[in-house]
Structure formats: C-alpha cells, structure tokens
C-alpha cells in the first residue's frame, strides 16, 4: 500500500486528521520515567498507544533521538507503530536535503532502517536532491514549503518573478515532483492564508500542517483554508501540547485527553 493510499485509509478509519509529533525532550520527561535507561522508548510508546484512537499518524522527530544517542530506541518506537498500529501513517521528521548520492543514503535511513511511510525533505538543493526519495516506490516525500517558524520569512517569502518563493516550491511539487513519486507539502498552521494559497496550487496533494498547540496555530482557520473539497487532505500535527499534558503516573492518559480534544476541534470545523 502506497503512502497516499495508506493516508486516505488512515483518515477515514480513525475519523481524524490529527498527527501526534514525538519529540522526547529529556528535560520534560514525566517523573515516573526519569532515569530509566529506555525512558525515551517507554515514553513514546505509551503516548502512541494512548493516542492511537484519535490520531491518523505519528511523526517522530529524529533530532530528539539522535542528540541523546537513542537511535536504537527510535528503531524500537518505529517498529512498535508498524506492528501495533499498522494502519497509522509513520512520518519521520528529518528535513533531509543533500546532493544525490548522499540523499539516497538518507532515503534508505528513513525508509529501510526506520521503516517510515514518509519523510520530510528540504527542497532547496533542487530536484536532484529530492529525486532519490521519490524513487522509493510507495513511500512519501513531504517537502518543506511554508514552514511554521517566524524565521521562515527570511527566504520563503522573498519575491521571485513576482511571487513568494514558497509558491514556486509548491508549483514545482505539483507540476513535476508529484509525477516522479508520492508527494505532500509542509505548510504551517501559523500562516493559514498561505495554507490556502498552497492548497490552490497543489490541488488534492496532502498537506502536513505543524504549528497548532504550543506554537499557537489556529485550527479553525487552518482547516478552512487547507482541507480538500471532500473534507480531508490535512495531517495536522501537534507535539508538545499533547506529549507534555501531564507529568505524573497518568501522563499518557493526560496526553490522550488533549489529543482527543484536538481531534474534536479539527472535526468541529463546519463545512464551507
């Protein structure tokens, strides 16, 4: 089953467009897990199992694991998602971008070592840096387009031939790269107007939308701007607001409560 097909099934089977981001910060680990040698894996797996009923996807951020020498625990977390929740989409948030031969190794890391369904990719080295990801049949390449951070304006909003640079990225993905492989784009919820601009350019391609929750993105405006005409089309990510909802023995249950509330807020946006 390819990335797009699996995502379509995940939206409908879970009745959710929520993605739970897995960013295990050692300084914010719940009290019951502090000092445990495999705390990262325990934490993430508990969050995954508690929120699976209300999420369509999980997105581990590789830097939070790699900085702690916890790549083996990331492998364990990814294996758990694939085995225990096989209908959910596994997105490796790596934001890779390098020349062709190196990009192929990054693609193998994401798709072979970690078994991800999709990986985030930086497009600014051009087509030959993205093509190795696109060549992996059935896997998703999620291209950074209009990111949720304020510094994204430094380059993404620069005018090029009368249009912001991020729209040129969206046009390239829609017209060229999506013909080479299964694509999606990253567009931040902190810029809902731009979400709408990208949706108009790329048609029905999926949009991964970070920035709700701790970053302050507005769910209502984002959903209205970015959903497809059938009501789907978005992977709306929330990380810290869900992960760190609780600090005690019930941290996973607290996370589940926030995840359910976020899912319900997304679903409550009326049509039109």
DSSP bridge pairs for 237: 19
Count CB atoms within 10 A of the CB of residue 38: 13
Q: What is the C-alpha to C-alpha distance for residues 267 and 6, in angstroms, rounded to an integer?
A: 20
| Annotated catalytic residue 95 | yes
Of 68, 156, 145, 76, give the one whose Cα is nearest residue 113. 76
To which H or E segment does residue 121 belong? Answer: strand 118-121
Task: State the catalytic residue, choosing from 6, 59, 95, 139.
Answer: 95
Query: Contact 167/157 with Cβ under 8 angstroms?
Result: no
* Alpha helices, DSSP H, located in the chain: 3-14, 39-51, 62-66, 71-84, 100-108, 127-134, 153-156, 165-175, 192-202, 219-226, 240-243, 251-267
Buried b (16+ CB within 10 A) or exposed e, 215-250: bebebebbbbbbbeeeebbbbbbbbebbbbbbeeee
Give the catalytic positions in this structure.
Answer: 95
């Amino acid at each position: 089953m390819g990335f797009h097909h699996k995502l379509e099934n995940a939206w409908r089977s879970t009745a959710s467009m929520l993605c739970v981001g897995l960013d295990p910060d050692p300084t914010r680990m719940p009290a019951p897990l502090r000092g445990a040698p495999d705390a990262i894996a325990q934490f993430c797996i508990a969050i995954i199992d508690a929120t699976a009923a209300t999420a369509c996807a999980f997105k581990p951020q590789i830097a939070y694991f790699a900085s702690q020498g916890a790549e083996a625990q990331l492998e364990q977390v990814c294996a758990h998602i694939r085995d225990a929740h096989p209908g959910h989409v596994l997105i490796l948030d790596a934001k890779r971008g390098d020349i062709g031969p190196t990009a192929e190794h990054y693609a193998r890391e994401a798709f072979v070592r970690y078994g991800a369904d999709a990986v985030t990719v930086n497009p600014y080295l051009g087509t030959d840096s993205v093509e190795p990801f696109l060549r992996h049949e059935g896997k998703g390449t999620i291209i950074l387009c209009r990111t949720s951070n304020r510094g994204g304006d430094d380059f993404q909003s620069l005018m090029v031939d009368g249009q912001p640079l991020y729209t040129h990225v969206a046009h390239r993905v829609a017209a060229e790269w999506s013909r080479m492989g299964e694509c999606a784009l990253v567009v931040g919820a902190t810029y809902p107007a731009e979400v709408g601009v990208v949706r108009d350019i790329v048609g029905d391609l999926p949009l991964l939308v970070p920035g709700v929750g701790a970053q302050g993105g507005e769910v209502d405006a984002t959903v209205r701007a970015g959903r497809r005409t059938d009501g789907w089309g978005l992977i709306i990510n929330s990380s810290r607001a869900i992960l760190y909802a609780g600090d005690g023995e019930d941290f996973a249950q607290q996370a589940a409560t926030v995840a359910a509330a976020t899912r319900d807020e997304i679903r409550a946006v009326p049509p039109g």
